[in-house]
Amino acid sequence: MKGSMTLVVAVMTLLNATLLNGQSPNELDEARKDLLEQTIAMMEDRVFPVMTQWREQFESRISERDLRHLNTLRERYTLLRENIDHNMRARRAAWQNNDLQTLVSLRSLLKSQFDERRKLLNDVGRITTRNLKHYQYLTSRIDSTVEEWRAASMRIFIDWFGKYRSVLAPAMHTADGESLAQLMAACKNMRLEILDDRAGALFLLWDGEDYTQEIRLSGLPDSPLTDLGPDPARVFFLRSADPNPFTEQTNIHFSIPLSGGTLIKVFDARGTEMNTLLDEPLRTGNHVVILRGEQLVPGTYYIRGQGNGFFDAISVRRSTNR
């Protein structure tokens, strides 16, 4: 991960040092599409066929009972991913519309779905424990192959960067800069730097379906090894309110996943802004801000927070003063 960020910083430095005229949106769109399509072509040619072979080899070596169980887990996981994607889109829409009630309702639903995802991975873990020898062979193949794939994607990225450098340089100073940097960081190594202990189990939940359409829809390369879905730490950065309900004051606990400007506001049940609890840059880690109830009538309130690429909302209730 550190090496990944180092390369992105180096590329950004080169871009900032390039003094060129602005580019048209069509040129930038062409550059984005070219990088993504080259990455997809490499994955179709070199990655997915190998992954399919791994999948078939593992299936051929486990018992019929375990294979049936694994296929059942795959079906559940495919449906779960679709539901999570749907609710994440609905969450984004609720945020943009400041629909705080829907946002909080989706929060509860997504929490239960993330718990279900964790349980599915644990169920796969029980299958791999029963077939430890075959699973260890699979993970050894993964470990020995990903560096080859990363090197191939890096070569594509370097050639692409050289071709489009004059288009990319001015784009980094526009509203497209952040998304462009995200695409560049993802395509240069297929996001394989995020692999962790869950990669093998995650891979076994792959139902064999083609990933290329999903990649085109999301605009970022992904594979059965890296498709972890939304990170709960980013989705639920507002941890809790303690106490809740409260009378005089409550502590809003939150955890910043990425350093940067952080804004936390209070809204009443109708969505009317009441006050700002915090508006300042914060470092990654756990924090607390106090909501005082002196000027709040008893009732339900929403705590709405946002930061560097994340947002969240929770509800609190002020009880009648004792």
- Residue 50: Cβ within 10 Å count: 14
* pTM given for the model: 0.81
CA distance 293 to 291: 7
Listed in sequence order, the residues at least 6 apart from 293 whose beta carbon sits closer than 8 Å to its beta carbon are: 246, 247, 248, 249, 250, 318
Q: Which pLDDT value is given to residue 188?
A: 86
pLDDT at 19: 35
Residue with tokens 């288009």: 167
pLDDT of amino acid 215 = 83
Q: In the sheet that 249-256 helps form, which strands lie side by side, from edge to edge?
A: 238-242, 249-256, 285-292
Return the pLDDT at 228: 74
- Selected from 3.40.1190.20, 2.60.40.1930, 3.10.25.10, 3.40.50.300, the CATH number assigned to the domain covering 233-318 reads 2.60.40.1930
Structural domain boundaries of the chain? 2-62+131-229, 233-318
Residues in the chain where the model's pLDDT stays below 50: 1-23
